[in-house]
Structure 1
Amino acid sequence: MKKLLVLCLVLALSLTMLAGCGKGSGFELALVTDLGTIDDKSFNQGSWEGLKKYATEHNKTYQYYQPSEATNAAYLEAIDLAVKGGAKVIVTPGFLFEVPVYMAQTRYPDVKFVLLDGEPHTEDYATYKTEANTLCILYAEEQAGFMAGYAAVKDGFTKLGFQGGMAVPAVIRYGYGFLQGAEAAAREMGLPEGSISVMYNYSGDFAATPENQARAAGWYQSGTEVIFACGGAVGNSVMAAAEASTGKYVIGVDVDQYAESNTVISSAMKMLGNSVYQALEAYYGNKWDGGKTWVLDVNNDGVGLAMDNARWRSFSKADYDALYKGIKDGTYKINNASDISIADLGLKYVTVTEVAD
């Protein structure tokens, strides 16, 4: 009997810890992670921090659910568990949830879904449909990339690299923004045309592989000073290459990746926590914007450049504030197209070498 009582107490304590703050039965707010964890220093962590912040401030129960594998079926199973657990709002971080949310939004019409960095569609991409219970949030990646390129050149770097993952629109916008930011900084500094060189590649994956590390190492050996690593775990390969070199740096992506490596000088960020918090504010404030897609940018704190833990040599917070203001007030015009070529950007100060695998 005593053993049974102890077991019940342990289970009750575990459930309380999982729920965080809040009252009532079940977990009102839920996050379904991709295959990673809530401390992945990427989409899962950033989204979880926003959900947790709102929940603790407003006394809501909350929980996260981690799928068993990276498949649509496993993501749907995790969503099913969240619904059974009492979720009223389910946050799904990343484009890998586009198909699962497409199916879940009709299966559970009374549950609200927040889909970050994607829009619901069928597996064959033939049909896109965002139901009234789903809010999609996209980001102005070109603005975040612009900040990274601008800061790198203002900081004195002239030999840059962009290592993208798969050539999907979001990654392309990051890269094109990076090139345009470098161009703007070089022009302001009065540098000669063609004085900024950029090695440019899409690896075709989002994985940490020997091939990705070898490519980055080759760039560093040939003179590249800093690489904007924009491809999930591809960044780990770039960081490993930088760590094996001397005086080489990395610009991270999506969240502040300073803790990943001492070589990370800053990160072009999507303000994921802010996004989730804003979506939950809308839901509980009876301003739910279901059936629509938000595109968050500098005007609503949707993107930024990591400065709190930055390792820039001379680029300061004041420089960043001026840059941010310039993007916000339209001083800097940034092309956000992802279906054009690099040549269409009309670069004069930046020379790009596109590297094919």
Structure 2
Amino acid sequence: MKTWRKIASLILATAMVFAMTACTKDQGNQASSDSASGKYEIALITDVGTIDDKSFNQGAWEGVVAYAEENKLTYKYYKPSEKSDDAYLTSIDLAVKAGAKIIVCPGYLFEKPVYNAQDKYPDIKFIILDGYPHTGDYTPVVKENTLSIFYTEQEAGFLAGYAAVKDGYTKMGFMGGIAVPAVIRFGFGYVQGADYAAKELGLADGSVEIKYTYVGNFDATPENMAKAASWYNEGTEVIFACGGAVGNSVMKAAETAKTKVIGVDVDQSSESQTVITSSMKNLTKSVYDALTEYYGGKFRGGEILYLDAGVGGVQLPMESSKFEKFTQKDYDTIYNKIINKEIKILGDQDAADASKLETTKVVVDLID
């Protein structure tokens, strides 16, 4: 995993260079490799953000850049004109017209667009992250030209909650975006990890407090910042900001309050000095590996994969984390326990809400 963290850092620098020197065409803000023919065989469609969003799009894009640069392949990303199924399909159409052989679609917003595109373009391969194609009824319809990838967010959240308590935090917060399954899993894992660490430390029952909410969006807003500020003013020491741009609001509040934040999806340590660690999905590695399989003639079309700690699918970025007590040895020990299934971590289908996780050391305060 250390190797991948180093690679990710190099890729970030590369991606930013391409972003600054991008060609502006059909939809604007499109970074690409040089292509004399105007054809780009690896494509990525962003959801509602850009490839330098320090979150889901960027993590996936870095995987594209890494593989394409290493193998001297052309690549390009497309930013839809709006948040709609039609706009996503239009971007897919543009990518296909520009020569795409394989298209990466990061996020559950692509579930219905990819459902349609996989039939419209049977010779094109699709990789969808955090979602699977369906018509709207959530019945998976994953064709042979589509690979669906999910992550065990409950494990990533567990690592973050465990590390925070081991580092001495007992007044904590979870501020999720929209209560979609992935966000719920992050939150459930966070609560369980905190409880597990508190038990190991011999803390009293109820000694760890976690304020818990879903703000209902994935945006940086004054309202989200105000909510985070109020939590910090009430004594919360660290908030797990699990909602895309919601994290920017939480970080600003933490900078004012001189408190701490846990980032999500990718390593967000460069975003603010308040970020002590990030609960990561290894997006870069998963996209890189899927492209490797495709070009190696082993594309796992028709499958739904769940990438867990056992395959390096989730992690904390220990090299950039700002822990004072929690060590690499501590991390390796708990990570191996998760790999070996020595710990049962509940997911989004295992409890009605975070307060029903039957923790003993952690008290969850659900906040509307």
Structure-1-length-normalised TM-score: 0.91
Which residue identity is paired with 1:271? Answer: N
Q: CA deviation at 1:29?
A: 0.7
Alpha-carbon contact 2:355-2:365 (below 8 Å) kept: no
Instruction: Output one character per residue of 1:137-175: Cα deviation in whole Å (capped at 9) or x when no partner.
Output: 000000000000000000000101011111111111100
More displaced stretch, 248-257 vs 19-28 = 19-28
Which residue identity is paired with 2:188? Answer: Y
Can you give the 5+ residue segments of structure 1 that lack an aligned partner in the other structure?
1-12
Task: Tell me how far apart the structure 1 counterparts of residues 100 and 112 of structure 2 sit (CA, whole Å).
Answer: 20
Alpha-carbon contact 2:149-2:305 (below 8 Å) kept: yes
Task: Tell me how far apart the structure 2 counterparts of residues 127 and 347 of structure 1 sit (CA, whole Å).
Answer: 33
Change (3 A) 1:239 1:25: closer
Q: CA deviation at 1:268?
A: 0.1
More displaced stretch, 206-215 vs 173-182 = 206-215
Which residue identity is paired with 2:191? Answer: L
Specify the alignment match of 1:119 in structure 2: 132
Specify the alignment match of 1:257 in structure 2: 268
Change (3 A) 1:49 1:170: same
Task: Tell me how far apart the structure 2 counterparts of residues 75 and 94 of structure 1 sit (CA, whole Å).
Answer: 12
Instruction: Output one character per residue of 1:215-268: Cα deviation in whole Å (capped at 9) or x when no partner.
Output: 11111111110000111111111111111112x100010011111111111100
Instruction: Output one character per residue of 1:305-347: Cα deviation in whole Å (capped at 9) or x when no partner.
Output: 1222111122122221122111111222211243523344210
Task: Tell me how far apart the structure 1 counterparts of residues 60 and 265 of structure 2 sit (CA, whole Å).
Answer: 11
Alpha-carbon contact 2:355-2:363 (below 8 Å) kept: no
Task: Tell me how far apart the structure 2 counterparts of residues 99 and 198 of structure 1 sit (CA, whole Å).
Answer: 35
Which residue identity is paired with 1:26? Answer: K
1:167 paired with 2:179, answer: yes
User: Which structure 2 residues correspond to residues 328-343 of structure 1 after superposition, within 5 A?
Assistant: 328-338=339-349, 340-341=351-352, 342-343=354-355
Q: Classify the secondary structure of the residue corresponding to 1:102.
A: helix
User: Which structure 2 residues correspond to residues 1-357 of structure 1 after superposition, within 5 A?
Assistant: 19-20=32-33, 26-122=39-135, 124-125=136-137, 127-246=139-258, 248-338=259-349, 340-341=351-352, 342-356=354-368
Alpha-carbon contact 1:22-1:55 (below 8 Å) kept: no
Which residue identity is paired with 1:259? Answer: S
Task: Tell me how far apart the structure 2 counterparts of residues 21 and 210 of structure 1 sit (CA, whole Å).
Answer: 40
Task: Tell me how far apart the structure 2 counterparts of residues 117 and 174 of structure 1 sit (CA, whole Å).
Answer: 13
Task: Tell me how far apart the structure 1 counterparts of residues 84 and 355 of structure 2 sit (CA, whole Å).
Answer: 37
Change (3 A) 1:289 1:23: farther
More displaced stretch, 308-317 vs 161-170 = 308-317
Q: CA deviation at 1:59?
A: 2.0
Alpha-carbon contact 1:21-1:56 (below 8 Å) kept: no
Alpha-carbon contact 1:249-1:264 (below 8 Å) kept: yes
Which residue identity is paired with 1:71? Answer: S
What is the root-mean-square deviation of aligned Cα atoms in Å? 1.9
Change (3 A) 1:281 1:39: same
Instruction: Output one character per residue of 1:175-224: Cα deviation in whole Å (capped at 9) or x when no partner.
Output: 01001100110011111111111101111111222221111111111111
Change (3 A) 1:263 1:14: closer
Q: Classify the secondary structure of the residue corresponding to 1:170.
A: helix
Alpha-carbon contact 1:24-1:61 (below 8 Å) kept: no
More displaced stretch, 181-190 vs 21-30 = 21-30
Task: Tell me how far apart the structure 2 counterparts of residues 255 and 171 of structure 1 sit (CA, whole Å).
Answer: 14
Task: Tell me how far apart the structure 2 counterparts of residues 167 and 100 of structure 1 sit (CA, whole Å).
Answer: 21
Can you give the 5+ residue segments of structure 2 that lack an aligned partner in the other structure?
1-21, 25-29
Which residue identity is paired with 1:111? Answer: I
Instruction: Output one character per residue of 1:99-157: Cα deviation in whole Å (capped at 9) or x when no partner.
Output: 111111111010000001111122x4365311111100000000000000000000000
Which residue identity is paired with 1:214? Answer: A
Task: Tell me how far apart the structure 2 counterparts of residues 207 and 334 of structure 1 sit (CA, whole Å).
Answer: 29
Which residue identity is paired with 1:229? Answer: A
Structure-2-length-normalised TM-score: 0.88
Q: Classify the secondary structure of the residue corresponding to 2:51.
A: coil
Change (3 A) 1:190 1:70: same
Task: Tell me how far apart the structure 2 counterparts of residues 55 and 234 of structure 1 sit (CA, whole Å).
Answer: 31
Task: Tell me how far apart the structure 2 counterparts of residues 19 and 217 of structure 1 sit (CA, whole Å).
Answer: 39
Change (3 A) 1:346 1:62: same
Task: Tell me how far apart the structure 2 counterparts of residues 193 and 14 of structure 1 sit (CA, whole Å).
Answer: 58
Alignment coverage as a number of residue pairs: 341
